Amino acid sequence: MKNIVKITTAAALAAMLGLTACSGSSGSSATAEEPAAALTSGVDKAAEAALPDAIREAGVIRAAAGIPYPPFILLEGDKQVGLDPDLAQALGEKLDVKFEIGHQAFETVIPALQAKKFDIIMSGMNDTIEREGTLNFVEELYAGFAIVVKKGNPEGIKQLTDLCGTSVAVQKASAQLGLLEDLKKECVASGAGDLDIQQLPTAQDPQTALKAGRVVAFPVDAPVAAYTAATSGDGKDFEIISDPEHPAGFNPVYTGIGTLKSNTELTEALRLAMQAIIDEGVYQEILDKHNLGAYATDEAIVNGAGKEG
């Protein structure tokens, strides 16, 4: 069987220098020089047979990821760790191919996929109806978002509308941007004050802005929020505002692996491989390892947003 995950770009290592809290991850993966112990029982023949001929012959699936984006992917030294490297290993074992995860700025991952620089997007991307116009998604998680504030919640934020009249940060091109733009209209219409939305380039920039006092909060996917609150400043920098009635987060959505709409063979191969690791229990084990077990899906789903909407 082929070994699976390796570092592909120096840019990923450079990007890691901006990460404020990464040492707490317990993930493990493999570099090209250090094969990882097998996670699964081996190749799933149906999944392998479904692969496009070009990928089967090359033996490689090239995955685009904005690195770092914990808990999905980050670096410990020269090793990729986190949820996606572990899922890549398990899926690679089922498909009998390598996964090479390379850094690509999040706002440009779709154009990079369209330019054939990569075969898939594996970057904690939320599945939306709009994105399904270009991509198919093989879902990894079902989770909402949480609001991250400074420790002690000095502004007394309890719900999304409490952000009216404040400044908030968000990563460019993230699903939360559209939500904040809708909230901004609601804030103005209700007379609750304008909402200043600061769009920032990387996943780490919003937490830097919050720590510096330039914003009062930032909304982000619940798994990312939980990781940030637990690790930044050894848990002393931030806390999360969430809805106890909805433990998966506000407005839960699917997060998945993106493939080009036209690449139906690859989508099906990934779906079959995902179903195989779900059936083996490996999928749940990986999510539990990264404290994401509450966000698991019961079966391998393609285009969950479209099915819901």
Q: What confidence tens digit (pLDDT) does each residue in 186-241 have? A: 999 999 999 999 999 988 999 999 999 999 999 999 989 988 998 899 999 999 98
User: From CA 126, how far away is CA 192, in angstroms rounded?
Assistant: 29
Contacts of 295 (CB under 8 A, 6+ apart): 141, 142, 143, 222, 223, 248, 287
Tell me if 305 is assigned to some domain.
Answer: no
pLDDT at 37 over 50: yes
- Which residues constitute the domain of residue 260? 5-143+254-300
Task: Give bridge partners of residue 224 from the DSSP assignment.
Answer: none
User: Are 20 and 136 part of one and the same domain?
Assistant: yes
pLDDT at 291: 85
Tell me if 186 is assigned to some domain.
Answer: yes
User: Are 97 and 190 part of one and the same domain?
Assistant: no
User: Are 166 and 287 part of one and the same domain?
Assistant: no
Tell me if 219 is assigned to some domain.
Answer: yes
Contacts of 305 (CB under 8 A, 6+ apart): 127, 128, 129, 131, 132, 137, 253, 254
Domain count across the chain: 2
State mean pLDDT over 144-150.
94
Q: What is the CATH number of the domain that holds 151?
A: 3.40.190.10
Contacts of 230 (CB under 8 A, 6+ apart): 24
User: Are 274 and 233 part of one and the same domain?
Assistant: no
User: Are 30 and 126 part of one and the same domain?
Assistant: yes
User: Are 18 and 132 part of one and the same domain?
Assistant: yes
In our burial notation (b when 16+ CB lie closer than 10 A, e otherwise), range 216-239 reads bbbbbbbbbbbbbbbbbeeeebbb
User: Are 281 and 158 part of one and the same domain?
Assistant: no
pLDDT band at 248 (very low <50, low <70, confident <90, very high): confident
Cα dist. 283→120, 224, 278 in Å? Answer: 19, 19, 5
User: Are 9 and 91 part of one and the same domain?
Assistant: yes
User: Are 112 and 188 part of one and the same domain?
Assistant: no
Residue after which a domain boundary falls, among 213, 235, 250: 250
Tell me if 213 is assigned to some domain.
Answer: yes
pLDDT band at 104 (very low <50, low <70, confident <90, very high): very high
User: From CA 248, how far away is CA 145, in angstroms rounded?
Assistant: 8
Cα dist. 308→142, 253, 302 in Å? Answer: 12, 9, 11
Tell me if 260 is assigned to some domain.
Answer: yes
User: From CA 208, how far away is CA 18, in angstroms rounded?
Assistant: 10
- For 159: left if phi > 0, alpha if psi spans -120 to 50, otherwise beta; the answer is beta
User: Are 108 and 37 part of one and the same domain?
Assistant: yes
State mean pLDDT over 287-303.
93
pLDDT at 86: 98
User: From CA 52, how far away is CA 4, in angstroms rounded?
Assistant: 18
pTM: 0.76
User: Are 202 and 164 part of one and the same domain?
Assistant: yes
pLDDT band at 308 (very low <50, low <70, confident <90, very high): confident
Cα dist. 198→77, 114, 151, 153, 264 in Å? Answer: 31, 28, 21, 20, 37
Contacts of 228 (CB under 8 A, 6+ apart): 21, 70, 148, 207, 220, 238, 240
User: Are 107 and 188 part of one and the same domain?
Assistant: no
Tokens of 193: 């004050």
pLDDT band at 309 (very low <50, low <70, confident <90, very high): low
